[in-house]
Amino acid sequence: MNQAIGYTAEELTPGMSASFSKTITDADISMFADVSGDHNAIHLDEAYAASTPFRGRIAHGMLSAGFISAALANQLPGSGTVYLGQTLSFRAPVRPGDTVVTTVTVKSVLVEKRRVVMETVCRVGDVVVIDGEATVLTPKRVAAKPAA
């Protein structure tokens, strides 16, 4: 893989995988609330959140889902990847202080269209918190320009 450009469709095979890890902080939750406009008390108000079935604050589901984008764009397929679609199932809550490990795995490759289907899984410890599937468009290798 070229550092400036990620893997092309021709370079990917089913089973290839990569992971991204991030520990969720109070600041992450607060910043995500501000950026997204989602100020639901379940994320921001400990007293309220303690009265819910979660018994405490939880991170926004889409905050954790955003780590899938980071794994796709930064690692596999990497830089130049275009996100085309994503399915998500939220399986368990993520709390401040939890470390989310996101793994993306190549399921299938359609080389002629540069499309790749990726399995996407976010875990906290052994618990799957989000799973789904992403479809991406891989970068195209650009031929090197001849020296002048």
For the chain, residues with pLDDT lower than 50 are 1-2
Residues 6+ positions from 124 with CB-CB distance below 8 Å: 92, 94, 98, 99, 100, 101
pLDDT on residue 3: 57
Query: Would you kindly state where each structural domain of the chain is located, as residue ranges?
Result: 9-24+59-137
Gap between the Cα atoms of 3 and 128, Å rounded: 30
* Residues contacting residue 114 through CB under 8 Å, at least 6 positions apart: 8, 9, 137, 138, 140
pLDDT at 1: 47
User: pLDDT digit string (tens) for 75-105?
Assistant: 999 999 999 999 999 999 999 999 999 999 9
Torsion angle in degrees (nearest 10) through CA of 78, 83, 87, 92: 50
Q: Distance between CA 30 and CA 25 in Å, rounded?
A: 9
| pLDDT above 70 coverage of the chain, percent | 93
Q: 3-state SS of 26-50? A: HHHHHHHHHHHCCCCHHHHCHHHHH
What pTM was estimated for this model as a whole? 0.91
CATH for 9-24+59-137 is: 3.10.129.10
